[in-house]
Structure 1
Amino acid sequence: MKPSIALKGQLDFVSLAQVIQFLSSNSSNGALVLKSPYINQPGVICFNKGIITNAFCGDLQGIDAAYSLFGWTEGEFEFDVNRVETERVITQSLMEIIMEGARMLDEGRIQELGAENQDIAKPFRPHLEEGVNFIPSPDVDYSYVVEEEIFSPGQNIVEEGNHGNWICVILDGYADVIKDTKKGPFTLCRIGPGALIGDIAIVLKKENVRRASVISVDEVTLGVLDLERIHRELALMSRSLRGVLLGLNRRLAEVNHNLSRLHVSDKTYDIKSLSGRDVFDFNRSDKLFTITQGWASLVAKGSQGYVKVAEMEHGDFVGRVPFLDLGHEPSQAVLLPSEDFAVEELPTEDIVAEYENSSNMIQCIASYISNCVAATTMQIRGTGKND
């Protein structure tokens, strides 16, 4: 069988993080083959339905190989759809891999190939406090930008509790997302170029209260997006896909709330004694459902105990969304339903097909919110402490 190359490009033009996010969001099957001018053997990252299953780099295999490939900032890549490895050796979520790989590269824990032969200037990024994550951003369709605004360092871009009916993209600069808690201001994450400020609920006019403050770290240039254009696209969607996107929006609110709660209380759970509830069985892991009755707690195993990630209610989706990697159920978190819990299966294949045919901006919004959910979930899993 001849290789079938569906995608190819240059790593000095498109970063590895951008490539694997694109392949994941398209539920791709195959092998991403990387070739560097500084090493003879290619590196390989395997995908099955958009999930990274394995990686190879020289003598390394699995997650260590995947991390090492973040040091390949020059060279070529191609995606071969005929090379499929279904056995899952790597269990980390996409966002865990991207964030840890980028962190290891920044800290010098993995080698940047060719760096010893040239003076490489790394992109400027303001100092980040320990425990605060930087959220990677997908590529934004800048044709949606209708106006620009500039904010000075330390200026409030958004204030928690205020109302706002706009969505912006950061064109340049960095900002911190901060939530007010009983212990005072708590930094949820840092965002930079390509990050979105605002959410889908604002577009659909369902809610316009800001859930957190956004404060510029350095000078920030914002691009105001064409809200009416995005609204028209969402209005033409099926109820199923629109429900998944709104559910994704609610998950972000939930994980942010629970991370803030853990900052105050550090509370963990005994999973066996959580109201005596049984774990929802996701034996059909490729299925997607919507909650029609009752509610459920999403619980993940943290570094020192089980922690609540989110509370799900009527209308929320549960199960794996093929084009998003949240680091949630069914593989990395468990669902504890109420006694009256009931679900209805969603038309997953139709939802995927519709999503793949949606605009780049809709996909960007979904991908960015997914990145935020996954990154915040990583913080939740590492925050809980036993009393």
Structure 2
Amino acid sequence: MTVDTSALSGNLEFLTLPDVLQLLHTNTCSGILRVKNPYTPTPGVVYFSKGAALDALAEDKSGIEALYELFGWVEGTFTFSTEKVTASRVIKAGMMEIILDGTRMLDDGKIAKKGPEEAFTQDDQNTTDGSNLPVVRRPISNYSYVLDEEEVANGKNIVTQGRHGDWICVMLDGYADVIRQTPKDGVTITRLGPGSLIGNISSLMSTKSVRTATLVARGRVALGVLDMQRIHTEFSILTPKFRSIAVSLDKRLRQATDTVVDIHLKQLNVKEVLAGKRLLMEQGSTDEQAHLIEEGEVCVVRKTKKGPIPLAFLEKGDYVGNIPCINTGHEPSGAALYATEDVKLAPLDLELVQQEYDEASPMIRAILDHVAACVSVTTLIACDFEKMTRKR
């Protein structure tokens, strides 16, 4: 692989398409990704703007179908060039949702594989128990923040639910399962892989942070302990409005996880949750704005074929809508908004939000991206849990 200021190129056997997509998303790249496969006559193309996939072409397909098609191109090369992109935004899904869905469809045989069969392994899952958990992983960067390295043995707790902890680590190697303990049992939510961050935005607040889940090592795990004093300083210089967006993002992750647990325990009462609320914005809306809640409450709801699933319960100080640099799967394109009658919203200046995001330190951006990715993953898990529960 070679990298310079204007291009990224490499071999798909060394850096897979999901890894490439995550890298371009994490670094908010704008330009064109071209993918060549020896088994196809023409290259595939993906258009990017600030880390978001706008549109794609692959053989006779376009849009999201073309992008999913490219997941089957496991052999070949890729080149990304930073150039002017005029494509319209056809693909509405967030990057983590795309990566998880594409990987899952490839594993399930719903995407045709173009390349030698021996190239298709489950190494990325690295599971020791045969499970098929979605894996959150990121390119490992910003190593300058690592003060020390630690190792955790297989089966040991890295984090224990309910305990206080205001530190953040990066997973340098290995995998770990996120488990929410309930009075009944433990619910495994997802799996974290290399590049994932352990800790959340509440770790950067002045109040003590309480761990909301247990993290268990699956195999040997190598951790990098991050410089919290440096990260605290970088977080403190953000504007109050941007910090409120970050805190609201953290809340979404906790609440989406709560929804998974409620579904697992069969305690989710949708009618009760939506009582006294009116439809504020329909799922599938093309609205590109975002707002801060000044009064009232807003519930984010994913509508599925099996019924509505409440994902987040937001109030004064939280944001709703579409912030392009923070994609969670809760945007109007993928979720509806229900609000109390007294709701009052104030529009966010998305240009200023994007500017502050771009000017934030690499680690602050990495934390925001990681939490947003986990929200997106947990939202998909909630939908899967609800589907399985209804089948039972």
TM-score range, shorter chain: 0.7 to 0.9
Contact kept, 8 Å, 2:300 with 2:313, in 1: the verdict is yes
Deviations 1:55-94 (A, max 9, x none): 2211233333212212334312224643433262x44432
In structure 1, list runs of 5 or more residues that go unmatched. none
Identity between Structure 1 and Structure 2 (%) = 34
Q: Within 2, Cα distance between the matches of 1:180 and 1:116?
A: 39
Contact kept, 8 Å, 2:179 with 2:189, in 1: the verdict is yes
Aligned to 1:362: 364
Aligned to 1:179: 180
Deviations 1:356-377 (A, max 9, x none): 1222211111111111000111
Amino acid at match of 2:278: D
Compare relative contact order (CA 8 Å, sep 6+) and give the higher one, 1 or 2: 1
**CA pair 198-191 structure 1, distance change in 2 beyond 3 A:** same
Contact kept, 8 Å, 2:31 with 2:47, in 1: the verdict is yes
Aligned to 1:347: 349
Structure-to-structure mapping, 1:40-119, within 5 angstroms: 40-47=41-48, 50-73=51-74, 74-79=76-81, 81-86=83-88, 88=90, 90-107=91-108, 109-115=110-116
Tell me the secondary structure at the aligned position of residue 337 of structure 1: strand
Deviations 1:99-150 (A, max 9, x none): 1222334455545544358798945611566673222324331111111111
Tell me the secondary structure at the aligned position of residue 270 of structure 2: coil
Deviation at 1:295, TM superposition (A): 1.4
Amino acid at match of 1:10: G
Structure-to-structure mapping, 1:20-59, within 5 angstroms: 20-24=21-25, 31-47=32-48, 50-59=51-60
Deviation at 1:354, TM superposition (A): 1.6
TM-score with structure 2 length normalisation? 0.87
Structure-to-structure mapping, 1:248-259, within 5 angstroms: 248-259=249-260
* Number of aligned residue pairs: 381
Q: Does 1:150 align with 2:157?
A: no
Aligned to 1:310: 312
**CA pair 207-280 structure 1, distance change in 2 beyond 3 A:** farther
Aligned to 2:9: 9
Deviations 1:237-272 (A, max 9, x none): 11122221111111111111111111111636369x
Aligned to 2:289: 287
Task: Tell me whether 61-70 or 229-238 shows the greater mean CA deviation.
Answer: 61-70
Task: Tell me whether 178-187 or 262-271 shows the greater mean CA deviation.
Answer: 262-271
**CA pair 226-118 structure 1, distance change in 2 beyond 3 A:** closer
Q: Within 2, Cα distance between the matches of 1:356 and 1:52?
A: 18
Contact kept, 8 Å, 2:159 with 2:216, in 1: the verdict is yes
**CA pair 26-194 structure 1, distance change in 2 beyond 3 A:** closer
Task: Tell me whether 202-211 or 171-180 shows the greater mean CA deviation.
Answer: 202-211
**CA pair 70-339 structure 1, distance change in 2 beyond 3 A:** same
Q: Does 1:379 align with 2:392?
A: no
**CA pair 292-379 structure 1, distance change in 2 beyond 3 A:** same
Task: Tell me whether 120-129 or 217-226 shows the greater mean CA deviation.
Answer: 120-129
Let me know the Cα RMSD of the aligned residues.
2.9
**CA pair 373-87 structure 1, distance change in 2 beyond 3 A:** closer
**CA pair 322-168 structure 1, distance change in 2 beyond 3 A:** same
Aligned to 2:138: 137
Q: Does 1:333 align with 2:335?
A: yes
Contact kept, 8 Å, 1:288 with 1:321, in 2: the verdict is yes
Q: Within 1, Cα distance between the matches of 2:11 and 2:319?
A: 36
Tell me the secondary structure at the aligned position of residue 279 of structure 1: strand
Q: Within 2, Cα distance between the matches of 1:199 and 1:6?
A: 32
Q: Within 1, Cα distance between the matches of 2:293 and 2:207?
A: 19
**CA pair 8-222 structure 1, distance change in 2 beyond 3 A:** closer
**CA pair 122-176 structure 1, distance change in 2 beyond 3 A:** closer
Deviations 1:293-345 (A, max 9, x none): 12111111134100110111111111111112211121111111112211222
Contact kept, 8 Å, 1:167 with 1:197, in 2: the verdict is yes
Aligned to 2:190: 189
Q: Within 2, Cα distance between the matches of 1:110 and 1:133?
A: 17
Amino acid at match of 1:9: S
Q: Within 1, Cα distance between the matches of 2:31 and 2:120?
A: 35
Deviations 1:5-28 (A, max 9, x none): 954322445443243334445666
Deviations 1:201-233 (A, max 9, x none): 112233411100011111111111100010110
Tell me the secondary structure at the aligned position of residue 182 of structure 1: coil
Aligned to 1:232: 233
Q: Within 2, Cα distance between the matches of 1:153 and 1:8?
A: 35
Amino acid at match of 1:310: A
Contact kept, 8 Å, 1:230 with 1:362, in 2: the verdict is yes
In structure 2, list runs of 5 or more residues that go unmatched. none
Q: Does 1:278 align with 2:278?
A: yes
Contact kept, 8 Å, 2:278 with 2:341, in 1: the verdict is no
Amino acid at match of 1:93: G
**CA pair 22-163 structure 1, distance change in 2 beyond 3 A:** same
**CA pair 274-199 structure 1, distance change in 2 beyond 3 A:** closer
